[in-house]
Structure 1
């Protein structure tokens, strides 16, 4: 039963993204590289950091380029020794830019050129964009740039090698939910256009979340219109109606479901608690969160914590009103199934 549920869960979860069945990825162009780099804007700075929980400058570059199967040395000084030198006047999107004398003599900072005189990097204020020419701090410290042959122009894209089973190009092996994503993938066969993209940081819609639970519980689709904003023609109408009929989920307001809105962590807690009949057992070891007292989903959140489905964030918060990401939802569902 667990295996069957897992097959259903992952198959439905990936419907809204390009499913896994990849032998070759999309072109690794400079624009794709900088677009991916910008996704981490706001990530906090952490000395020695190499993951989205915190980056230092060279760790950030390594993480971004590694997503395109381009390996970089660990430090900015070592990174400055690879590739081909590029003059400031000839900078192109995707070039690595370097700075000296930030916290020590010599090359001590690196970033990625994103065009129009701007570069993105992990600095003391976190991952952010600054201008090479006008920023009073960075402009005088600019030292040079390097261009990697692996990053091609739009006309000559780079092909990436075939993926191993259960892997995605945008889910690094050290990604915090890589195991859950891999296990769920290996327990099912996914078909699609072969891009090998999971989009772990994209939000999950309420329609997707309802569909996942309806399929997982093998609920029979219910025809018709239960909510004013979910017509019978909506792709998820049958499943939304089914979870409503089963008493698992309600709308966000009277008569409305908001199917295309992103589901929150609090809503997911309620959804999983109802779907899997999870109970909260008070004990000295029961985890509490700093921001859930009095929240409408407090009991459901406590139930998830008591059953090991959710642990919250490092700062002790749960962030119940934050939109849930695909990786988070995958992990929650995986744990709920394992616990059931």
Structure 2
């Protein structure tokens, strides 16, 4: 029931080697309240857990995921985690719970306390909305509150001056950075829009799979001394990233978003997860006959960052550091 930190495999991504120190930080409680308010008015969607639509527990899952905490799926299950808090001791960021809403028995609704006797939640009538705990509808249904933010690390608001808290890949980038999986540059930037090369992609994935290749001599343009040689050879032997018909690998050529989806599927078998790949098309720029269609559709359905929640996927667009970070973050969350 309780998974307080996204289960990411410890792997050193080598997109850069320079460590970055924190500049300033908001408390987890402040960040949760600030982020939850930014979604006011988002419509209610049964089973929804993305900004395209939330149900009550899906909203909490999405918001707390932003500070590195994963919650169970239903309101009743969410009430089983954290420390029980008296109503008189409520503090911003605490979870509040209600029973017998929508004429159903048991704990059926959850929200986030934001202070001043108010909470924010996904309501079936008005979407994301702020209500008073003294409201004539909610007051008699109040069950209790739980606190899970005591030991959570602060959410850095300016670790990277080019990745604000509002950036859709903020959680992915900062979670991976906090675990020394991704680092920024020495000018306090992350350069989220910088494209990822084929060599870097091989290294990123092999830091997770940790495969030792049988040979390093596989491509005419990848010398044994190349920093990506081990990882490129490993990816070839696994059939994850292959070379071109002329015998080259082109380690410094950029990778498209379509290619990224395909290699993630080859490496982590994401199209075997549930029935995502059989869902209706979610992007306007691809159709079911497209060669990477299933892998791309899965990225949409497992996305908790909103990076992939758009009308168009951008099949020929370069996969950037932010996009690749979000994809790896999402894939690790569902495959480990």
TM-score normalised over the length of structure 1: 0.50
Shift of 1:173: 1.8
Shift of 1:17: 3.5
C-alpha distance in structure 2 between counterparts of 1:302 and 1:192, whole Å:
30
Task: Decide whether the 8 Å contact of 1:223 with 1:232 is kept in 2.
Answer: no
Query: 1:290 corresponds to which residue?
Result: 284
The change in CA–CA distance for 1:339 and 1:258 in structure 2 (over 3 A counts) is same
The change in CA–CA distance for 1:173 and 1:254 in structure 2 (over 3 A counts) is same
Shift of 1:329: 0.5
Task: Decide whether the 8 Å contact of 1:273 with 1:303 is kept in 2.
Answer: no
Are positions 1:271 and 2:263 aligned together?
yes
Task: Decide whether the 8 Å contact of 1:219 with 1:242 is kept in 2.
Answer: yes
Query: 2:331 corresponds to which residue?
Result: 336
Query: 1:17 corresponds to which residue?
Result: 16
Query: 1:103 corresponds to which residue?
Result: none
The change in CA–CA distance for 1:284 and 1:238 in structure 2 (over 3 A counts) is closer
**Cα deviation per residue 1:201-248 (whole Å; 9 max; x = unaligned)?**
100001000111111112114542211221212110111000111121
Query: 2:69 corresponds to which residue?
Result: none
C-alpha distance in structure 2 between counterparts of 1:308 and 1:193, whole Å:
26
7, 11, 20: which one aligns with 2:10: 7
Query: 1:325 corresponds to which residue?
Result: 320
Shift of 1:166: 8.2
The change in CA–CA distance for 1:292 and 1:174 in structure 2 (over 3 A counts) is same
Query: 2:174 corresponds to which residue?
Result: 182
Query: 2:207 corresponds to which residue?
Result: 215
**Larger Cα-atom Rg:** 1
C-alpha distance in structure 2 between counterparts of 1:21 and 1:271, whole Å:
29
C-alpha distance in structure 1 between counterparts of 2:204 and 2:175, whole Å:
17
The change in CA–CA distance for 1:206 and 1:177 in structure 2 (over 3 A counts) is same
Shift of 1:306: 4.2
**Cα deviation per residue 1:243-273 (whole Å; 9 max; x = unaligned)?**
1111212124442211101111011001110
C-alpha distance in structure 1 between counterparts of 2:278 and 2:291, whole Å:
23
Are positions 1:204 and 2:196 aligned together?
yes
Q: How does 1:132-147 map to 2 (within 5 A)?
A: none
The change in CA–CA distance for 1:17 and 1:291 in structure 2 (over 3 A counts) is same
Task: Decide whether the 8 Å contact of 1:228 with 1:256 is kept in 2.
Answer: yes
Task: Decide whether the 8 Å contact of 2:257 with 2:318 is kept in 1.
Answer: yes
C-alpha distance in structure 2 between counterparts of 1:236 and 1:260, whole Å:
10
Q: How does 1:59-138 map to 2 (within 5 A)?
A: none
Task: Decide whether the 8 Å contact of 1:18 with 1:196 is kept in 2.
Answer: no
Alignment gaps of 5+ in structure 1: 25-162
Tell me, what secondary structure is at the counterpart of 2:270?
A: coil
Query: 2:161 corresponds to which residue?
Result: 169
**Cα deviation per residue 1:136-186 (whole Å; 9 max; x = unaligned)?**
xxxxxxxxxxxxxxxxxxxxxxxxxxx959821221121121111111112
Task: Decide whether the 8 Å contact of 1:20 with 1:190 is kept in 2.
Answer: no
Considering only aligned residues, what root-mean-square deviation do their CA atoms show, in Å? 3.2
The change in CA–CA distance for 1:193 and 1:203 in structure 2 (over 3 A counts) is closer
Shift of 1:303: 3.4
